[in-house]
Amino acid sequence: MNPSLVSIVRYEKPYESVQKAVELAGGLSHLKPSDHVFIKPNIVFWTTKTVIPKWGVITTSRVMEDMVRLLKDLGIHHITIGEGSVTADPKDKETQFHAYEALGYKTLEKRYGIKCVSILARPFTKVDLGDGMKLSFSSDVLESDAVIDLPVLKTHAQTTVSLGIKNLKGTISIPSRKRCHNADPVMNLHRWVARLSDSMPPVFTLIDGIFSNERGPAFDGRMRRSNLLIASNDIFAVDKVGARVLGYAPDEVPHLKYYAERHQRPLDLSDVEVKGEALEDVADAYQYDFQYTEDGALPKPMAKMGIQGVSYYKYDLSMCTYCSGITGAVLTAISMAWKGQPWDDVEVLTGKQMSPRPGKKKTILLGQCMCKLHKDNPDIQEAILVDGCPPDPKAVVAAFHQAGIKVDPNIIENYEQLPGFLMARYKDKLEFEEAFFKIE
């Protein structure tokens, strides 16, 4: 069998760099002008409330326009861009289009005659992925002739890396996303992610590494200007190379291990030919995980502050995006509420599989999954319930106040605005150009 081509190209110029990455990876000439092509960027989260730092989090509009232009130059008529971004309110159908407007996609619609859709406002088709695993995928994606997958070069706190395969999670419905974050110790998140590309039409992946993200996938990671593009017609091959670029051997990435097992592919690069830059010249070391104390009871920076009397256990694979979204704000609010006096042995349980620990006086059950599982648990001395999916920020504040932790309501109730405060990190850093997220 011929090896799969994966290109690694330094980003130097608009259009030409993307064109080179695509050509070295074997090109897209197999596409016919009549084909319907679906482009899936990575716009992991969006809000209308503030300007968010997009570097290393969101696919650059530069790469998006270059890819659209390339497809148009190949004579492709039917091009759709679609994403299923997470927003603060899962029922919100408007914010997706605000993202498209802000990222210049509306200009692309006018300039190139393409269309933009919100995946979460469109129909889904249930797909049987085997072993009883069923997920509802965007019908638009499944019915297209080809998918262009444009993930960002980033690590991920739960899945180690988030590249071509993981980016396809944005094409499934919200209930399906929750199913992926289940509490089954065997059929866990990694196994579901490993199957996300199985039912797809042919996928061409171009990893946008103009900016990259250490301790991703969100705004609170450490961003780098990396100027890399990595592309292939083989999603597994490009993910293996992308993982290496981020400093991880593919066998350190559980979903790549499961993919290899299922498709009987090697985990090393023996079935891959890298074109362009040498892998060892561009690979670097990225941490993927947020650092917690050894017992997993508190993030290390909070432990360093001397915070005592509260345990906010490390997230596990079962915590889905909506609960993750509020976590950063809650931890910030707890840190700011610390006045040097230990709180009254409070613990916070999140996700779908955590258990209370003996001796805790108050247990906050954050989210509907924890409430359902533990509301009558006899091991809990005082249960404080924050029901709902996602949990209501006002109820979160009330729960912490009931537990004696006087968090500032503004921080939690306006958690959508938190990414905006991180913009200050990039002020006067010329390598982080907002222009990459605009279409002129």
Chain residues in the site for ligand SF4 (CB under 6 A):
178, 181, 319-320, 322-323, 351-352, 367-369, 389-390
Nearer to ligand SF4, 147 or 369 (CB): 369
Q: How far is the CB of 390 from ligand SF4 (least distance, A)?
A: 5
Nearer to ligand SF4, 250 or 367 (CB): 367
Asked whether 172 and 63 are in contact (CB, 8 A), the reply is: no
Q: How far is the CB of 418 from ligand SF4 (least distance, A)?
A: 18
Nearer to ligand SF4, 299 or 390 (CB): 390
Asked whether 383 and 375 are in contact (CB, 8 A), the reply is: yes
Nearer to ligand SF4, 205 or 353 (CB): 353
Q: How far is the CB of 392 from ligand SF4 (least distance, A)?
A: 11
Nearer to ligand SF4, 104 or 356 (CB): 356
CA atoms of 371 and 389, how far apart (whole Å): 11
Q: How far is the CB of 367 from ligand SF4 (least distance, A)?
A: 3
Asked whether 11 and 210 are in contact (CB, 8 A), the reply is: yes
The HSE-up count of residue 431 (CA atoms within 13 Å, CB side) is 10
CA atoms of 39 and 105, how far apart (whole Å): 12
Q: How far is the CB of 326 from ligand SF4 (least distance, A)?
A: 9
Nearer to ligand SF4, 154 or 352 (CB): 352
Q: How far is the CB of 178 from ligand SF4 (least distance, A)?
A: 4
429 to 61, 217, 223, 256, 425: CA distances (angstroms):
20, 21, 11, 35, 8
Q: How far is the CB of 181 from ligand SF4 (least distance, A)?
A: 6
Q: How far is the CB of 351 from ligand SF4 (least distance, A)?
A: 5
With b for 16 or more beta-carbon neighbours within 10 A and e for fewer, the 238-262 pattern comes to bbbbbbbbbbbebeebbbbbbbbee
Asked whether 260 and 250 are in contact (CB, 8 A), the reply is: yes
H helix or E strand, kind and range, residue 300: helix 300-304
CA atoms of 242 and 272, how far apart (whole Å): 12
Q: How far is the CB of 325 from ligand SF4 (least distance, A)?
A: 8
Total Cβ atoms within 10 A of residue 72: 15
| Position 146, amino acid | A
CA atoms of 223 and 101, how far apart (whole Å): 24
Q: How far is the CB of 361 from ligand SF4 (least distance, A)?
A: 24
Asked whether 69 and 112 are in contact (CB, 8 A), the reply is: yes
Nearer to ligand SF4, 368 or 414 (CB): 368
Nearer to ligand SF4, 72 or 178 (CB): 178
Residues 28, 29, 33, 36: is their CA dihedral positive or negative?
negative
Nearer to ligand SF4, 308 or 377 (CB): 377
Coil, strand, or helix at residue 281?
A: helix
Nearer to ligand SF4, 253 or 320 (CB): 320
Asked whether 65 and 439 are in contact (CB, 8 A), the reply is: yes
